[in-house]
Amino acid sequence: MLNRKTSHFLGMRVQSELEHLSELRREAGKDRISARGSAARTRASVRTQSTAAAAAKADEDPGANLFPPPLPRPRICMWKYLDIHSMHQLEKTTSAEEMRQVLAELLELGCPEQSLRDAITLDLFCHALIFCRQQGFSLEQTSAACALLQDLHKACIATPLGNVEECYHYFTSVLFCHGVRRPPFSIDLFKEEQLLALEDYVVNTYFRHFKLYKYVFTPQVRLDLSLTYMGLQPPKLWPESETEKEASKEVEEQAVTPQEEELETVAPPEPEPSHVHILRAYIKTQMNKELEELQQLVEEQLKASEERLSSKLTALERPFQLPPGKGKSKTK
């Protein structure tokens, strides 16, 4: 009887210990998962902070945006901006004004009558659609031509710096993506004659006015140039003493009469600081040296030209003499 109770008690104890161990393992697993999650969140926060710091550094760095941004890779752009439903809406239009209204809604242009940029963009795509109708392009070809022009326009206005060569290379690459059958990189959407016609149209209408589009759609670039001379300390502001401040306050408080204004004399100019005087003297000596060298060079050139002219004059002033033997008659 004791053995049964003892075994039963031992069994209950072992089971309780096993349950306790399983609970400890679960808690340990939960702690590991939470630790991993916190570590992942910490990494993500560190990445976001580093990215934000890099972006702020790029914004603060004045030389970060000196070069134009890289252009995207050329890809197939059929149905990219104008899908099949949009092309059906444009196909139903019968006049240029109706086409402009539908195109303004599809391109989400606010108010072309008030915005100069929206009006220019609308004119660009309206004339492109008219060209596609004249060439007899299909809906797929018209959509691809408009998307190609839109991508080219985005590449142009991405930077105020000059990138006409890069934009032309990008345009020709995208154009060939729609003229050669090489899936999935390119398709034969246009024929050779259509490709040449589209290229001539874009070159004559967009690339001829490339700088005008860039002037309207990009901010103006101004050069802020500052020079620093080696060996000279930057100018320092001389702090005013307390006595000078009190004297200036007293002068401001006192009213100046007209007679006193007449009796006032012109104050002598303040002496320049030592570093400004040294810089002025250095610039003056360098200018004088350059002027002396330039004057010497001009005098040498004038002297050489005078010598050439005098030699030509002396040659012209000599009497014409026949060569010996030609003036004598031959005697037999």
Output Rg (C-alpha) for the chain, integer angstroms. Answer: 43
200 occurs within a structural domain: yes
Q: pLDDT by residue (tens digit) across 179-207?
A: 888 888 888 899 999 999 999 999 999 99
pLDDT of residue 312: 80
- Residue 139 backbone phi and psi in degrees, to 5: -65, -40
Residue 181, helix vs strand vs coil: strand
* In a domain? residue 98: yes
pLDDT one-digit tens code per residue, 198-244: 999 999 999 999 999 999 999 887 877 777 777 666 666 555 555 56
Q: What is the pLDDT of residue 59?
A: 45
**110 in a structural domain:** yes
Higher-pLDDT residue of 273 and 100 is 100
243 domain residue, yes or no:
no
In a domain, 58, yes or no: no
Asked whether 93 and 99 are in contact (CB, 8 A), the reply is: yes
Q: Answer whether residue 134 is part of any domain.
A: yes
Q: How many domains does the chain have?
A: 1
* pLDDT value of residue 48: 44
Q: How confident is the model at residue 115 (pLDDT cuts 50, 70, 90)?
A: confident
Give me the chain's average pLDDT, please: 75
For residue 93, count other CB atoms closer than 10 A to its CB: 15
Q: Is residue 194 part of a domain?
A: yes
Q: Which residue segment(s) compose the domain that 212 sits in? A: 84-217
Q: Is residue 111 part of a domain?
A: yes
